[in-house]
Structure 1
Amino acid sequence: MSRRVQLIAIAAGFVLFAGALLFAWGWYGAADVEEDRAFVVPSGASLTSVATKLQEEGVIHSAPGFLLRAKILGSGDPIKAGEFLLPAGASPAQILNTLQHGEAIRRFIAVPEGLPSVLVHDRLMAEPLLTGSVPVPPEGSVLPESYDFGRGESRAQVLERMQQAMKETVAELWPKRSSDIAVSTPEEAVILASIVEKETGKAGERPMVAAVYSNRLKMGMRLQADPTIIYPITKGRPLGRRILQSEIRAVNDYNTYSMAGLPKGPITNPGRAAIEAVLHPADSDAIYMVADGTGGHAFADSLAGHNRNVAKWRAIRRARGEM
């Protein structure tokens, strides 16, 4: 081989090597991700459509170049739908790996125990990353919990999961109920649990509060639960003032001061623990309760005992300057 041919071969090899390096750099070198950013892969999207979307959003230089390198240097695994975090300085290789094997970003909507449906609706409608609209769900149909969602998911889908969770929870707990409880149907259990949920802020008190109301129901006594006065007035929103005497005397399907038995429906969305408390109330003869100044209640099984507890509560309020 002549020296000329050798030089040509060396030059050609160098060109090929440089081209290979340039090709690889286009795959393993940094793309145009200057800072952490979210990227959404639509459901059912192909790698071709995703590459085009990456180019349109300024993440990569060239969709055809990305696809060619992905075919030769990348994994053949399918991409996943969802929202993914692309870190600053990510290479096309890292981007593809993230879309194929990374964990999609999940966001959460929290529904606290005792949050009424009108406020659940407010939270869903206020979330800007959800789409569509939903009506206010029926009271007591949503299980308080934290629910994850993806960007662009519909509010209807999220609400459906919330309501399905309540159905499954009631279906799970009802067959395990104690014997001789005060309610006769799962629907009644949710109604009574909603009252228990609104009457105490202490988790450990729920079985005792459930016992008080269960005992009253069995005896035919009126429940006299303040939250049942407020619900028909506000539909779950805060009252923002003291209850009026006229409201205590009001006759409707919810006010348990003016009617015996349960309200016609739930007054909030009770959590799992409140439902369990109704299905397994404390073993107690208590039929009275009054605030004790700590956020909880003092319980009594006689009017005399209740009156003593009321006197203690009034003394606490006077000491606080509330009376």
Structure 2
Amino acid sequence: MWRHIASNAVTMLIVLLFLMGGVILWGKGQYEAAGPLDQAICLQVERGSNMRRVSRSLEDQGAVSSPTIFRMGADYADKTSQLKAGSYLVAPGASMAEIVDIVTRGGASTCGTEVVYRIGVNRLGIQVRELDPETNRFEERAAFTPAEEETPEIYAEKKAQPDTRFRVALAEGVTSWQVVESLKSMDVLEGAVADLPPEGSLAPDSYEVRPGDDRTQIIERMQAAQELRVAQAWQNRAEDLPVETPEELLVLASIIEKETGVAEERGQVASVFVNRLNRGMRLQTDPTVIYGVTKGQGVLGRGLRQSELRAATPWNTYVIEGLPPTPIANPGAASLQAAARPLTTDYVFFVADGTGGHAFAETLDEHNRNVAKWREIEAERAN
């Protein structure tokens, strides 16, 4: 009899183990299978939250079929303790395994509110925007200029939320002084900037920052990025460039940056300056004269005077030979590339053409005709 009972017990154990294995396999399949979500959502994970709360939120939003399996899968993957606060974009059909990875991976939030500090050539602008999960595009909620407008309530509200992201967007062609002054006015940052970074040493780009970040460390990130860009441009430069060092390449790139806002023109503008340097001609470019007047501290805000065009400053390329001693702004990657590998042309002149771009010329006669056309356009606009 005992043998019979033991035999039945072993049989039952085997059946139970078999069933448990089946359940585990089924649960694993559910955990890794495409989820029921048919539209993207922005999942908010608050500080101090846990997997139980997250699983319930996902269930309420129709993102998981079983919060229990979600939690068990996170436990089995040993990720329960790795939950990170933030706002996370969950794509349609995301599996529970993928969602667990999203909320435990760490790093910046991928949706929700974003505050962008835009350091432009003329001013600092602040933009508050939110990601629309359905379109995966940011929608602007507020935009203002701190020095000129009242601060909207939404800025203070969103700035205080723990899952808000912050970015500093540095425009091409800003000066180092403009960058430092803008960073000083950002109330989410801390720390003093002891020394003004060398002109041209900051890479125009978008930088993720966090409340309490040190301003000097952000500047160091910008400098490291620019050093890499200059080194890459110098390594890939054309063989016959009339510049002898990476520093001179940076100076040339800064002049190109300030001379045109039309991306397609950078290679042509670069060719003009390279041709002039090769022929021993003065560069004669207004942005260098302006820098000699302002030293990069703000915008001139008016036309150049004849006395300023004749004044002997280290940056006045109507007076000096060759390149000025320093960059006149922080050039972007495209201007560095244009300086390193300009188009091959015979152009040595250019003037505004009335469309936002320039008319290029190989001879003085052709250039004078282009100048006459531009003066006609100016006269028409003045009337």
TM-score, normalised to structure 2, is 0.60
Match of 2:262 among 167, 187, 202: 202
Q: CA deviation at 1:103?
A: 4.7
Partner of 2:176: 117
Post-superposition shift, 1:125? Answer: 1.4
2:172 corresponds to which letter in structure 1? E
2:188 to 129, 133, 146: 129
Percent identity among equivalent residues? 47
Q: Which has the higher contact order (CA 8 A, sep 6+)?
A: 1
Q: In structure 1, what is the equivalent of residue 374 of structure 2?
A: 313
**Which stretches of structure 1, 4 residues or more, deviate above 4 A after TM superposition?**
36-39, 73-81, 97-103
Aligned to 2:213: 153
Give the secondary structure class of the aligned counterpart of 1:107.
strand
Partner Cα distance (2:83, 2:46) in 1: 14
Cα deviations by residue, 1:193-222 (Å, 9 ceiling, x for unpaired)? 100000001010001000001111111111
Give the structure 2 partner of residue 169 of structure 1: 229
| 1:44-72 per-position Cα deviation (integer Å, ceiling 9, x unaligned) | xxxxxx79xxxxxxxxxxxxxxxxxxxxx
CA contact (8 A) 1:109 1:123 kept: no
Letter in 2 for 1:299: F
Q: Distance in 2 between matches of 1:80 and 1:246?
A: 65
Q: Matched residue pairs, number?
A: 249
Mapping for residues 1-323 of structure 1, pairs under 5 Å: 39=47, 78-79=81-82, 84=86, 101=105, 103-105=107-109, 106-134=165-193, 135-236=195-296, 237-321=298-382
- The alpha-carbon deviation at position 172 of structure 1 amounts to 1.5
Structure 1, residues 255-281: CA drift from partner, whole Å, max 9, x if none?
101111100100000001001101111
Task: Name the SS for the 1:267 alignment partner.
Answer: coil
Q: Distance in 2 between matches of 1:143 and 1:180?
A: 26
Aligned-partner Cα distance in 1 for 2:223–2:107:
26
The 2-side partners of 1:150 and 1:201 are apart by 31
The 1-side partners of 2:168 and 2:46 are apart by: 19
Amino acid at match of 1:113: E
Measured in 1, the distance between the counterparts of 2:46 and 2:324 equals 48
- Report the TM-score, using the length of structure 1 for normalisation: 0.70
What is the DSSP-based 3-state SS (H/G/I as helix, E as strand, rest coil) of the residue aligned with 2:336? helix
Structure 1 residue 131: deviation in Å? Answer: 1.3
- In the TM superposition, residue 123 of structure 1 has moved relative to its aligned partner by 2.2
Q: 1:107 and 1:251, CA in 2 relative to 1: closer, same or farther beyond 3 A?
A: same
Structure 1, unaligned stretches of length 5 or more? Answer: 1-35, 40-49, 52-72, 87-96
Distance of 1:152 and 1:37 partners within structure 2: 21
One-letter code aligned to 2:175: P
Q: Give yes or no for contact 2:79–2:104 (8 Å, CA) kept in 1.
A: no
The root-mean-square deviation of aligned C-alpha atoms, in Å, is 2.8
Whether contact under 8 Å (1:109, 1:146) holds in the other structure is yes
Distance change (3 Å), C-alpha of 1:274 and 1:76: closer
Q: Within 1, Cα distance between the matches of 2:229 and 2:105?
A: 33
State how far apart, in whole Å, the 1-side matches of 2:271 and 2:102 are: 53
Q: Secondary structure at the match of 2:168?
A: strand
Which structure has the larger Rg?
A: 1
**What one-letter code is carried by the residue in structure 2 that aligns with 1:214?**
V
Richer in strand (by share): 2
SS in 1 for 2:271: helix
Deviations 1:77-135 (A, max 9, x none): 55588x7359xxxxxxxxxx998555544421011111111111122112211111213
